Amino acid sequence: MVRPQELWGRRSVAIGVILVALAVIGGIVLLVAGGGSGGSGSNSASSLSELQDKLLQRTVVVPSRGIQVRLPSNWTDTKRSNVIRARSQSGCVVMTLSAPTAAGNAKGLMRDSVKFLRGTYRGVRVRSGGTSPIGGIPTTSNAVTLNDTKGHSVSILLSVGTGKQYAYLTNVTARPNCAADLALGRVVLSSVQYTK
């Protein structure tokens, strides 16, 4: 039999886990939304450009798909089958950029991506992340939380953008307590360019 003190202790832990997960989701949504900025558009663009130049030392490109992203020197990346996978130094944030299908299939790509996550992982919860450009193209996002194969909580920003030729899939995965990596990930995401 569970004593009342143990029950409240478990509830407190569960509430804490939920609050951490919500904070990570909020951080990920801010990656797309860009947060509020008090300055003018040109000042903000200039500040962002300076920040990118300071923090992002190298560029990774998939020319055939029109994908380009700038990364910090301590992030690792792989390019395979026209997909860029970038990982923060701690491994707390992983970003995947791809153009897997034609532009006309953008809605189906989001639907199939969510279906894949639901079929692969447990505890999948999806909520709208709204619309905001990523890589210079119109993009729709969903904020997803799930439990990975080891039972760890993971938050995902799943975004599909429509280019002229391709539908672009941007996937940002983060684990709890990733505030510093998420802040840097926001700068990385702002450097993405989708051009086809």
Relative to beta strand 139-147, strand 153-162 is antiparallel
C-beta atoms surrounding 171 within 10 Å:
19
Residue 106 above 90 pLDDT? yes
Tally of domains in the chain: 1
* pLDDT in the model for residue 37: 41
Domain CATH for 77 = 3.40.1000.10
* pLDDT in the model for residue 169: 98
Least confident of 17-26, 113-122, 127-136, 157-166: 17-26
| Structural domain span for residue 183 | 4-194
The C-alpha atoms of residue 71 and residue 76 are separated, in whole angstroms, by 8
The C-alpha atoms of residue 158 and residue 15 are separated, in whole angstroms, by 25
